[in-house]
A and B are shown apart, each in its own frame.
Chain A
Amino acid sequence: MQTNQTTSVNRPVAKQLTLDRITKRFKGTVALHGISLTVQPGELISLLGPSGCGKTTTLRLIAGFDFPDEGSVRIDGADISHLPPNKRGLGMVFQNYSLFPHLTVAENIGFGLKMAGASRSHIQAEVKRMLAMIRLESFGDRLINQMSGGQQQRVALARAIVTNPSVLLLDEPLGALDKNLREGMQFEIRRLQQSLGITSVMVTHDQEEAMTMSDRIVVMNGGRIVQIGKPEDVYNYPRTRFVAEFLGTANIVKGRLESIDGKRLIFSLPKQNASLSGSACRISILCDETPTWIKPGNIAEIAVRPEKIRLGGSGDNTLQGVVQQHVFRGSQHSYRIDVPELGTTLTVSQFADFHHDDVHNANETVTLVLDEHAGVLLEPEDLALNEQAAGDGAELQQRKVA
């Protein structure tokens, strides 16, 4: 309690949060398989993954609602793994805000300060400052159920940060808002978090939210961290098929490694049936360092983002396809194109430019161009798991093209 008060009075110094090889089991099932993660001071990190991937468990372990079976949670080096939540000095925004319905807006915001034993005048001043910050100055005496969803969201945020927490936890903070409001709040929360420089961990299953708000994204699956990286790196260089498909859309094709030419791996794309015979086209992929797990002649999976395939024009690697379906999505055209040479259907999206719109209609034959940066080599999932189990950490495995 004492430490809580001192942090609430002084300006915060951003703290580093470390999760060190944390394992958590629930009644025999393993929810987290020794995950490690370091959140740098002032950084906002998103835990992204499907339900049951362990992201919420991770957040609850940081908050202190659950305790790890192995490993530790540290803030600036101090082990807090087994402290109760009220001794950790954190802030948290819950999915449904969890504002106290029997208290007013001002009492909600001041709750943390009151618990820390702050003086009445200090609480009043801080609550006033917070209400001004979230632009709800005149709402202090309202009850929670008299506020709209967006207003409640802002009150929840104010309540969480008024104590100057060392780490801010956000549990699907925008999940209950409708789409327009959500986009506005994404920027607002991000702006606040950056201006206050609070180390933050957010849990979300919304990839767009994760991309908009985070410094780095942590993609989780099955209780493991699959990949950590900046939003654009994770999007452009997904490590495994799971990441490629979870974050955005991806065409996954199997390719045979033909040869290695410096940093350039040349793959041929065979017909995508059981025998993987023939070679429809070649695709070259740039790799910083040649992965050790693949040798010429091996088959590997390659992800091709829909917007990286060009329609029309010429290039080194082209394929012929027939448009099956065309959807206009406002900012882009989306096509499903049947490619007989590959024996599969690819999703292609093109930036919609209304000045010279050459829309392709169904049954039209088009040329698909795969440029040098179109494809990304994917690691087999089991390999990714083994590397993580060996304690390498997904972070080190991040591939970046120079």
Chain B
Amino acid sequence: MQATATLRPARPALAGTGAPRSRRWLLIVPALAFLILFFAIPLLQNAGRSLGENDAGVFANYIKLLTDEYYLKVVVETLVVSFNSTLLSLIVGYPVAYFMVRRAGRLALPMLFLLVTPLLTSIIMRTFGWRVLFARRGIVNDFLMWADLIDRPLNLLNGPMSVYVGQVHVLVPFMVLSIIPVLRAVDLRLEESARVLGAGALKTFFLITLPLSKDGIVTGVILVFMLCAGSFVTQLLLGNGSIVTLPLLIFQQFSLTQDIGFASAMGNLLLLLVLACLFIQLRLTEGKRGNK
């Protein structure tokens, strides 16, 4: 009796794995409900809003967006800025991830902490930080003057350079955090094999380590690209109009012009563009996917 009593609670748990299929779907109901309520419905609503009720036709907003030279330029600029920022983040982030995994040893944990802490502050605060550093009489200009590299303060703010610096600063942690686990999983003995087989340190890196950490790079690139394509705070606060991207335009349409229909159309276009990029990236990196 005692034995059966103690066994009984375990039974349903065991049976759970083999529960009738008909009731298993219940488990996803909460998540599904949340997604429908807060993701699918707003998205559909937004799509509906973007279709104009005015006399210019149902797709007027989209036609305007895709035929007007100014808007087309903005679309292209959005992609270019996102691409460049992603590339820069990769170039800056990969060595950091590599150092943390392979060389840092006991410093790895403090480094991780330093990497993550900026994420705890608001992006606006971090961006304003750059405004202070890049100001006419800010630290950067002061240092360059002191080092006699320049005669008078440079106009560092309000140009593409400051936008990129701001973007990369915000995005690099995501890149590093995506690469670290994959790099950590690369077997050191694979690199040692390559060394014994005659590959120098650089060749070993480019032929073995880099290809094997591809999954982390892909994850990081996708993540950073998405975040970048959807961001406007940096462009707004550091670019001062020198770089205009779709999100910035949406923000302006929404809060200044209050043309909500047009803003919605741009939002949907942005969504489609990013999805298309994601698709292309995945196809490009699929290659010899059979290996893992």
Contacts and interface: CB of A to CB of B under 8 A. Distances in A.
A1 B198 contact: yes
A86 B189 contact: no
B195 A101 contact: no
B212 A163 contact: no
B288 interface: yes
Interface in A117-175: 143-146, 159-160, 163, 169
A98 B291 contact: no
Interface in B271-292: 288, 290-292
B187 interface: yes
A144 B212 CA distance: 14
B240 to A, nearest CB: 45
Interface residues of A, number: 33
Interface in B201-217: 201, 203, 208, 211-212, 214
Contacts of B189: 94-96, 98
Contact of A90 (B196, B290, B291): B196
A143 B288 contact: yes
Given A65-B192, A98-B189, A102-B212, A116 B198 contact: yes
A237 to B, nearest CB: 36
Nearest to A91: B196
A5 to B, nearest CB: 9
Contacts of B190: 98, 100-101
Contacts of A1: 198
Interface string A371-388: 000000000000000000
B195 to A, nearest CB: 4
B193 interface: yes
Interface string A349-390: 000000000000000000000000000000000000000000
A84 B203 CA distance: 14
B198 A145 contact: no
The dominant DSSP class at the B interface is helix
A84 B198 CA distance: 9
Contacts of B291: 101-102, 143-145
A63 B197 contact: no
Contacts of B214: 102
B288 A163 contact: no
Contacts of B193: 92, 94, 98-100, 159
By CB atoms of chain A within 10 A, which of B193, B196, B211, B288 has the most?
A: B196
B101 interface: no
B197 A101 contact: no
Contact of A86 (B195, B208, B290, B292): B195
A393 interface: no
By CB atoms of chain B within 10 A, which of A88, A96, A100 has the most?
A: A100
B199 interface: yes
B133 interface: no
A98 B197 contact: no
Contacts of B199: 86, 111, 115
Given A100-B190, A101-B212, A115-B203, A92 B196 contact: yes
A112 interface: yes
B6 to A, nearest CB: 39
A145 B291 CA distance: 6
Contact of B208 (A90, A100, A144): A100
Contacts of A99: 193
A84 B211 contact: no
A1 B199 CA distance: 9
B292 A101 contact: yes
24 contacts: A1-B198, A64-B195, A65-B192, A85-B196, A86-B198, A86-B200, A88-B196, A98-B189, A98-B193, A100-B190, A100-B208, A101-B190, A101-B291, A102-B288, A102-B291, A111-B194, A111-B199, A112-B197, A143-B290, A143-B291, A144-B291, A145-B290, A159-B197, A169-B196
Interface of B: 187, 189-190, 192-201, 203, 208, 211-212, 214, 288, 290-292
Given A92-B192, A94-B193, A95-B189, 8 more contacts: A63-B192, A85-B192, A90-B196, A91-B196, A101-B292, A111-B197, A111-B199, A145-B291
